[in-house]
Structure 1
Amino acid sequence: MDKNKSVEPQVDVQPIVDVVPYNINYEHALEQNNSNNELIFEYPTVYVIADKQSKKRKDSVPDFTVYVGETSNIGQRTRQHLEGDTKIREDWKKLRDSPNAEMMVVGDQYFNKSLTLDIENRLMMYLLSVDHIRHLNNRRTNPQRKYFMSGQFDKIFAGVWDALRQKKPELFPIKKDIENSAIYKASPFHSLNEKQLDGKQQILNRVAHVLGNAKKVDNKDAAVIFIAGQAGTGKTVLLSNVFNDLVNSKMTGENAVNLLVNHDQQLIVYKQIAHKLGLDKDNEDVVCKPTHFINEHQKPGAKKADVILVDEAHLLWTQGKQSYRGDNQLKDLLKLAKVVIIVFDKYQILTTKEYLDDAAIAELEAKASRTGNTITLKDQERMAANPETIEWLHNFAINQKIGVMPSDSRYELKVGRTPKAVYQKIKALDQNRGNAPASLARMLATFDWPYVEAKRPTEGGLWNVQVGDWQMPWNLQLKVSRKQKKKNDSLAWAERPQTIGEVGSTFTIQGFDLNYAGLIIGPSVTYRDGKIVFNPEASSNKQAKNKRTWHGKKIDVTRELLRNELNVLLTRGVHGLYIYAVDDQLQQALLTAAGSTHILEENDGL
């Protein structure tokens, strides 16, 4: 053992939490509480100020505005907020004057400056996902690197959260429920890995350089920053982090940063994040769809944006459609901003209207690379799986090969003998909510069964995924109460409780993850002569099957898009994936690959 290396003690976490009214009498109230005053007044502390809004109904939980902070001197910091900040900031004045504002101060013997900064950041990340918190203040991100006791951080934070939950359960719900939410997974407060941190600094440096020389690019296309990486490599987390920093940065102008996404479910999530953090306070379009942004910024007199960030840029349209009159959304965006940051994965292009061939993608990458603006993320951040499992899934979808399923104590990969067995497992896992990691489990399928959003197949009927006698309705069809419907508007598809009885498609699940996914691989994916073969005739996905014009010629790229559809669906599960294939030869190949250890039997684990 290295004698110079400090050894962290195993901790016995027993934080104290004092709750006092947030007003000029706070210090007296803290001193009068039956707690360890030394931990509150002599040690670093973390504090949460919560202002309870009036209830909309008698039986409802009230909404809150919340501020999170940390300090080495709670008395001095609170006086600064109450006496100084109220003179220059309206939000602090409202907190001071509210009769419903309370301050929770957390102390613990293990707290040090780096640790409290990390707890502050983690609290921001968790509280951002709490339904009843409408506004969350203190938007700085302060994740720390290595420090004494950093190895015990998760245990210490869990103790802090539990102590706060005992005092205010409406503000501090079960941790696992938060961790399953789409907002949590896209939060800008996640700690970045080394590659993401390097990429972030590279992005911010390039933005500063371009904006500092803005006159030189006024009549040219924007500088392109290209973030590449396959599904689950942390692209969205990096983009969200950079977006939050840029909106709050002094180097960008007023209302000059926009985040665009062409996916309805992700748009909901980003808009919620922006609203809770106040990023949309002066610009309601800070998060919007590309078509809306283009139409608004092509109007006479409209100014160029400083920075546009595009998540899932592989979903940008490369032909005109509906309200979009152009022929390539990315090319239009490059004319409307000084810097365009795009997240791109060619294996997630799903429809002909988004299609780019390899040459066009290479040209885009080259444009970014010429000025050192390409960031490639490779570390798998979504799936808690060994590299061999991730490679097996990649070979299945992209290389169209099925090898022997690898053993993996971290990830459950199994083949069901029937679709019923897969659904039984998924339903049982989802019912086990709150017990990590078994919750947020949903059924998915390739788009091989008809579904028309605007009409029903028969009066009162549903569009179903059907295999023999087994069937389940496609996504976004099951009716709910008016109260639940209103709540659903703020939730991604997989978070809506009734969707345990539906089957999701790429159009609802792309960009999101599940703890466990049950996947029905329909007849468009077959196995012939030792290789995966895609059968366009068996697909109901018209958006993948439509021929389109590319460089003056009609082309058919259906097989390539069906490959990408399979790739997206195979990579949604964080902790496990259960598969059933309709094609007999593919199902047999999967059962053979599963051997005796990767078979999901009826009632397995129930």
Structure 2
Amino acid sequence: MDLDVDGQHDQVRDERSRLFTKQRRGDFLNYLRERLADKPGAEAADRLLSSPVAPSKQLMAYAADEIREREQFTLLDEQQVAYELVMRAVDKARRADFKQVVIVTGGPGSGKSVIALSLLGELYRQGRTALHATGSQSFTQTMRRYPGRGSTRIKNLFMYFNSFVDAEQNGIDVLICDEAHRIRETSTSRFTPAAKRTGRSQLDELMAAARVPVFLLDEHQVVRPGELGTVHAIEQYAQSRGYAVNRVSLDEQFRCGGSRKYERWVLHLLGLEGSGPVPWAGDENFEVRLAHSPQELEAALLARPGTARMTAGFCWPWSDPRSDDSLVNDVVIGDWSRPWNVKKDRAVGDAPPSMLWATEPSGFGQVGCVYTAQGFEYDWSGVIIGPDLSVRDGRLVTVREANRDPAFKNRKAVPDADFDHLARNVYKVLLTRGMRGTVIYAVDPVLRDFLARHILT
């Protein structure tokens, strides 16, 4: 009845909306006839489905403001080289129907993600189509939460590597693959229906999706079986398809802090580069300290100004939350114990969801693992080296039996040699998250003594 909604008509009447009651059915039909064609819409629907997806001008402007201008990024030296290389490649690709692959390598703090976000903002300001993708839920969700705050469409610029299974060939100008060391052999998982298991490589999907695929990576951050994001793998595949490849290294610069000298020391320590461990020679802009207990490590972090997190090798069980919504203190060392970071994407008590552990202040109370720490930096890093690392004949060795990571459980799928390399990469990631300093505690007393001889404090 009209009387039942008396007074509501004027509330909703504008250029886009109307209100009709059952008594006004005839008016409703006339309203629809004035605005809808009397012929079938199949042709228009097909045209819509086959049309290229492109952002609106308003979205481009908003993306540029939110991603590029608000952060006031300043690109330095090789960062600027990489940035300009991509922009030139975009112009060339459009003019000549040409595909070019760009690979940008660099350690932590070298500005890979600064380049990624600067490119994304500038490309949208110019009216180009671009997407940002990673293989990390934590990293992608953080990008959606901060640069994409307040706009669903901006959030949708941040994708995952497995989002391009059915992507149109060259459907976008640029695909920025950040944290590309996490690229996997295929995009399928145990949840993928059998009908969709094409066997197509993830590299092929990513390279096909854009005229200019950009890969930003640190080769020493491959930490899981099945990850193949190395310069060699990317170059080899691109060349097999006849694509031009350009590469830029950022290894000689640190925009956001950190220490190149310290990163080299870690690589030597872990046997990933060089002829073996060397003494820490010091860096006036970066502090390295050896703790004699986890209590000392935690206290040292609390005493430092700025952001700090504790991480550890995966050498302790990882329990589900209790029924009272509290975390179990799984990481137990003597009379000191703390919980791992939250497993899933919801908060547990005061602890943030897993993808926000590195960025929310309340993440300090938990111990992070490599999967939540990778891709992030904080001022001060506390690293607990678990019993899966020890020393033999003056060099670090891995102890597989002490590791509890389910990814390494199957010896047939992950042979001992692969485990050894991946475990060393795990600690390389954990040891290089701090931008102002790192505090280290080793559970194995033999390793503690070894580190004490190489870290003179």
TM range, smaller chain:
0.7 to 0.9
- Measure how far apart 1:229 and its partner are: 1.7
- Measure how far apart 1:590 and its partner are: 0.8
The percentage of counterpart residues that share the same residue type is 24
Of 373, 376, 382, 1:509 maps to 373
Partner of 1:182: none
Determine the C-alpha separation between the residues in 1 that align with 2:405 and 2:247. 33
Q: Within the alignment, does 1:409 sit opposite 2:284 as a pair? A: yes
Q: Which digits, 9 at most, give the CA deviation of each residue in 1:250-297, with x for residues without a partner?
A: 3x2xxx42111111121122223553486x64x7632121223325x2
Closer, same or farther: CA 364–193 of 1 in aligned 2, 3 Å: farther
Of 419, 427, 433, 1:566 maps to 427
Q: Within the alignment, does 1:465 sit opposite 2:331 as a pair? A: yes
Q: Which digits, 9 at most, give the CA deviation of each residue in 1:466-500, with x for residues without a partner?
A: 22222111012799688x78xx5798312323322
Q: Which runs of 5+ in 2 are unaligned?
A: 1-56
Determine the C-alpha separation between the residues in 2 that align with 1:140 and 1:459. 36
Q: Within the alignment, does 1:583 sit opposite 2:444 as a pair? A: yes
Determine the C-alpha separation between the residues in 2 that align with 1:459 and 1:193. 46
> Is the Cα contact below 8 Å between 1:310 and 1:343 reproduced in 2?
yes
What RMSD over aligned residues (CA atoms) do the two structures have, in Å?
3.6
Q: Within the alignment, does 1:239 sit opposite 2:116 as a pair? A: yes
Determine the C-alpha separation between the residues in 1 that align with 2:412 and 2:206. 22
Moved more, 469-478 or 573-582: 469-478
Partner of 1:332: 205
Q: Which digits, 9 at most, give the CA deviation of each residue in 1:403-438, with x for residues without a partner?
A: 222133221111011111101111233xxxxxxxx1
> Is the Cα contact below 8 Å between 2:312 and 2:385 reproduced in 1?
yes
**3-state SS of paired residue (2:244):** coil
Q: Within the alignment, does 1:543 sit opposite 2:407 as a pair? A: yes
After superposition, residues 207-226 of structure 1 pair within 5 angstroms as: 207-214=90-97, 222-226=99-103
Determine the C-alpha separation between the residues in 2 that align with 1:136 and 1:356. 28
**3-state SS of paired residue (2:103):** strand
**3-state SS of paired residue (2:113):** helix
Partner of 2:359: 495
The TM-score normalised by the length of structure 1 is 0.57
- Measure how far apart 1:561 and its partner are: 0.7
- Measure how far apart 1:560 and its partner are: 1.0
Partner of 2:85: 202
Determine the C-alpha separation between the residues in 2 that align with 1:385 and 1:270. 22
Of 225, 246, 260, 1:373 maps to 246
Q: Which runs of 5+ in 1 are unaligned?
A: 1-88, 92-134, 143-186, 430-437, 599-606
- Measure how far apart 1:336 and its partner are: 2.6
Closer, same or farther: CA 533–262 of 1 in aligned 2, 3 Å: same
Closer, same or farther: CA 470–383 of 1 in aligned 2, 3 Å: farther
Partner of 2:300: 425
Closer, same or farther: CA 240–409 of 1 in aligned 2, 3 Å: same
Q: Which has the higher contact order (CA 8 A, sep 6+)?
A: 2
Q: Within the alignment, does 1:443 sit opposite 2:310 as a pair? A: yes
**3-state SS of paired residue (1:517):** strand
Partner of 1:557: 418
Which letter maps to 2:102?
I
The TM-score normalised by the length of structure 2 is 0.75
Closer, same or farther: CA 241–90 of 1 in aligned 2, 3 Å: closer
Partner of 2:25: none
How many residue pairs match? The answer is: 390
Closer, same or farther: CA 265–284 of 1 in aligned 2, 3 Å: closer
**3-state SS of paired residue (1:373):** strand
> Is the Cα contact below 8 Å between 1:232 and 1:571 reproduced in 2?
no
**3-state SS of paired residue (1:354):** coil
> Is the Cα contact below 8 Å between 2:134 and 2:177 reproduced in 1?
yes
After superposition, residues 41-52 of structure 1 pair within 5 angstroms as: none
Determine the C-alpha separation between the residues in 1 that align with 2:78 and 2:231. 25
Q: Which digits, 9 at most, give the CA deviation of each residue in 1:143-191, with x for residues without a partner?
A: xxxxxxxxxxxxxxxxxxxxxxxxxxxxxxxxxxxxxxxxxxxx86310
Which letter maps to 2:424?
R
Q: Within the alignment, does 1:286 sit opposite 2:157 as a pair? A: yes
**3-state SS of paired residue (1:495):** coil
Partner of 2:341: 475
- Measure how far apart 1:210 and its partner are: 0.9
Partner of 1:315: 182
**3-state SS of paired residue (2:74):** coil
- Measure how far apart 1:535 and its partner are: 1.7
Closer, same or farther: CA 330–138 of 1 in aligned 2, 3 Å: same
Determine the C-alpha separation between the residues in 2 that align with 1:204 and 1:141. 15
Partner of 2:132: 259
Determine the C-alpha separation between the residues in 1 that align with 2:353 and 2:327. 23
- Measure how far apart 1:359 and its partner are: 5.4
> Is the Cα contact below 8 Å between 1:427 and 1:500 reproduced in 2?
no
Q: Which digits, 9 at most, give the CA deviation of each residue in 1:547-596, with x for residues without a partner?
A: 5769xxx885111111110111111111111101112211101112223x
**3-state SS of paired residue (1:266):** helix
